[in-house]
Structure 1
Amino acid sequence: MTLPPGTVVRLAPDVRVRAGGAVLVGGSPTRVTRLSARARSLVHDGEVMVGCDESAALARTLLDAGTVLPVRDSLPSPTVDQVTVVVPVKDREAGLDRLLVGLGGAFEVVVVDDCSGDADGIAGVVVRHGARVIRLDRNVGPAAARNAGLRAATTPYVVFADSDVVIDATTVLELVRHFADPRVAAVAPRIRALPGERSWLGRYEAARSSLDLGARSALVRPLSRVGWLPSAVLAVRRDALDAGFDTRLRVAEDVDLVWRLDAAGWLVRYDAALTAHHEHLVTPASWIARKAYYGTGATPLAARHGGLVAPAVLSPSAAVVAVAALAQRRWSVPVLVTAWLTGFVRLNRRLRSPALAAELTAEGARATGAQTSGLLLRHWWPAALLGAVVSRRVRRAVVVAGVLDAAIEYRRTEVDLDPVRFAAARRLDDVAYGSGVWISAVRGRSLRALVPVLPRRR
């Protein structure tokens, strides 16, 4: 599909340029892209401007691979009459009022009252801000409530915003700007915490919220760095959604929608330079309950999307590495070295670049370590705990994994919290989410969401 003339795309920050610009390493998921001499001549300072058929084709190819990201300022600006904001709400008058104040009456707003206890109070807030209300006579959940608002909208673009977020009109318009690319079906901003919360859990959540997908924009695809988007704020192309959210899901309905859009051939974007703020739960009981609630979406997602929700994606050689590392036997080191060398040789045979092959092999080893640690500490923690009771090797593996994970994430995360409480919060985070996954497995009578899978070839 054609990009507007003048569109500029720029190499994603994590893309590495090799061989004088002839090789690009990156994308969603990571791949090696080779550029012809003609293609290289169209790239200037890491950017491609759409001005002819060749540049449009190159920009399209790289956008679809996630190797480049659109420069938003180069895209045409939408108008306010092209956007409807849909707000599902249940018993959050203060939050709804705060959200509508932030929007400033710039757009048509449809508030879907999902059977609030004080319907008159919700209606009063809606009327005060000149919005429109749809009252549901029974509680149907956020997916069905959003769908009701989607059906009521007549504009080409709809922005779903939960009643516990704050976003301004300028940010909404900047989000919608991405739809100048006719292949983009959905886009979301970065979700940060509302300022002011100073409890230790609040400070952890401000830095490591489940809704915060990080500081780097990305093309969103399952099994890539950004594999889903939260519906706390989600802009969509109305015609791309068909029936909308799956109303059978009370949790993870946003993940399901994004994955269905990707499977249908649409592009989904995460724009980390745009920000909305969310009122996080920070009391211990409510915080742990919410993390576990998120985990209960795993089995329903696995039933719909199979291995996309797997806790780890391990190639046969990576699985051998994981087993050898966990075994902690005399043969473990030779097996690890052999696996690394085998991977290096295979990559070098394909890439014909020892330096790049070594770099990618090392990254694969780090990814395997991170996934193995995640299995022990997050998804398989009940089994790991039982194993630690009877096995010194399992205890050692759990302790080493926990310490290394906390140290690496603490260094990577800009968090206003001491290392000890950060580590404690991170382990509680993992245990709560993993408990939710196990609860969903028991309810759904399926372990599919707990079983690693082999990577799919692309």
Structure 2
Amino acid sequence: MTTDVTIVVATRNRRDQLLDLLPRHTAPVIVVDNGSDDGTPAAVTAAFPGIRVVELGRNAGAGAARNVGVALAETPFVAFADDDSYWAPGSLERAGELLRRHPRTALLTGQVLVGRQERLDPVSAGMAQAPIGTAPDAPGPTVLGFLACAVVLRRAAYRQVGGFAERLGTYGEEALLAMDLAAAGWNLAYTPELVAHHLPTPSGRDPGARRRVEARNRLLTAALRRPAGVVRAVAAQAWRDPDGRAGLRDAARQAGWVLRHRRRLPADVEAALTALSRVEPAPAAPVPAGAGAPG
């Protein structure tokens, strides 16, 4: 078991799957519970007395839960896992080695294998193409986004930029953090030798509600960091879908917060994001209805 990485697991109402996967983790674990009402905290404590369990008492969102876990971690590096994911043996030890060897790298994102069939997630396949190249002092192709269940971060860099924006809650919260790390001068790299297994299952959550939140968060993220033209394009895309329109209305209610926290990205980061936007996105990986991030 590695001792310089802490795994932070955000969870909500997935007790049985969490209990099934916790034995597969190969580093100390902090479980942060987002107001579960299915007995998750007590069950984890009873089954795994060595695991620290933090009860938020409400659904604060995955980003907020991860922020709490990172604040409590005492190791230099932190890995995230969802309650339906785990890291392959050896991945976290290797991640620690790479982060020590590459001190300007804040974040490593590994490849994601989905389901029992271990299908490569299309997001991982897209990252491997390296459309914006590889920094000279980075261990892999540069990325400006990630899947939260497949990253290992330098804790100091995460805290430097403030972690996840808790207003974004769950779904799409990763994009703003990636932008802020890059804007602070850190490298973010895709390293396929690190492997995260994702085992999504139906959860009964409302897919329309998820699309609404995703639309809201895409617009808020763009409005916080991107040029006006990008914000208009994001809004226009969301307007085509009823759930997207609802998300736009939700975002409009956050206008005051956006104006207080808006700051443009450095020119090189904006140019890289523009280059990425010209690459045709890979199709989404098929997942069961209602599956997704905790929260």
TM normalised by structure 2 equals: 0.69
CA distance in structure 1 between the aligned counterparts of 2:228 and 2:145, rounded to whole angstroms: 11
Which is higher, the Rg of structure 1 or of structure 2?
Answer: 1
1:29-48 correspondence to structure 2 within 5 Å: none
Cα deviation for residue 116 of structure 1 reads 1.1
Cα deviation for residue 299 of structure 1 reads 1.1
- Give the aligned partner of residue 100 of structure 1: 22
Which residue identity lines up with residue 41 of structure 2 in the other structure?
I
Shift in alpha-carbon separation, 1:177–1:217, aligned structure 2, 3 A: farther
Structure 2 gap segments, 5+ residues each: 134-140, 256-267, 273-295
- Is the Cα contact below 8 Å between 1:220 and 1:268 reproduced in 2? no
Root-mean-square deviation (Å): 3.7
Shift in alpha-carbon separation, 1:307–1:228, aligned structure 2, 3 A: farther
Which residue identity lines up with residue 250 of structure 2 in the other structure?
R
CA distance in structure 2 between the aligned counterparts of 1:187 and 1:305, rounded to whole angstroms: 22
Is 2:118 aligned against 1:185? no
- Give the aligned partner of residue 150 of structure 2: 233
CA distance in structure 1 between the aligned counterparts of 2:156 and 2:124, rounded to whole angstroms: 27
1:49-60 correspondence to structure 2 within 5 Å: none
Identity %: 27
CA distance in structure 2 between the aligned counterparts of 1:158 and 1:123, rounded to whole angstroms: 24
1:114 to 14, 25, 34: 34
Shift in alpha-carbon separation, 1:234–1:265, aligned structure 2, 3 A: same
Structure holding more helix per residue: 1
- Is the Cα contact below 8 Å between 1:99 and 1:167 reproduced in 2? no
The structure whose RCO (Cα within 8 Å, separation 6+) is larger is 2
Shift in alpha-carbon separation, 1:295–1:269, aligned structure 2, 3 A: same
CA distance in structure 2 between the aligned counterparts of 1:296 and 1:380, rounded to whole angstroms: 9
- 1:297-325 Cα distance to aligned partner (Å, 9 max, x none): 21110121123993899xxxxxxxxxxxx
- 1:354-398 Cα distance to aligned partner (Å, 9 max, x none): xxxxxxxxxxxxxxxxxxxxx9xx92783xxxxxxxxxxxxxxxx
Is 2:216 aligned against 1:216? no
Shift in alpha-carbon separation, 1:442–1:312, aligned structure 2, 3 A: closer
2:4 to 82, 100, 117: 82
1:95-174 correspondence to structure 2 within 5 Å: 95-103=17-25, 106-119=26-39, 121-129=40-48, 130-174=50-94
What SS is found at the alignment partner of 1:80? coil
Shift in alpha-carbon separation, 1:249–1:187, aligned structure 2, 3 A: same
- Give the aligned partner of residue 237 of structure 2: 379
Which residue identity lines up with residue 163 of structure 1 in the other structure?
D
Cα deviation for residue 285 of structure 1 reads 8.6
- Is the Cα contact below 8 Å between 1:84 and 1:153 reproduced in 2? yes
Shift in alpha-carbon separation, 1:228–1:312, aligned structure 2, 3 A: farther
Which residue identity lines up with residue 6 of structure 2 in the other structure?
T
CA distance in structure 1 between the aligned counterparts of 2:98 and 2:220, rounded to whole angstroms: 30
Structure 1 gap segments, 5+ residues each: 1-78, 198-205, 314-374, 383-433, 449-454
Cα deviation for residue 262 of structure 1 reads 0.2
CA distance in structure 2 between the aligned counterparts of 1:158 and 1:259, rounded to whole angstroms: 19
CA distance in structure 2 between the aligned counterparts of 1:289 and 1:188, rounded to whole angstroms: 27
- Is the Cα contact below 8 Å between 2:213 and 2:247 reproduced in 1? no
- Is the Cα contact below 8 Å between 2:44 and 2:53 reproduced in 1? no
Is 2:168 aligned against 1:249? yes
What SS is found at the alignment partner of 2:16? helix
Number of residues of Structure 1 aligned to a counterpart in Structure 2:
245
CA distance in structure 2 between the aligned counterparts of 1:312 and 1:213, rounded to whole angstroms: 29
CA distance in structure 2 between the aligned counterparts of 1:380 and 1:238, rounded to whole angstroms: 34
Shift in alpha-carbon separation, 1:101–1:308, aligned structure 2, 3 A: farther
Which residue identity lines up with residue 15 of structure 2 in the other structure?
E
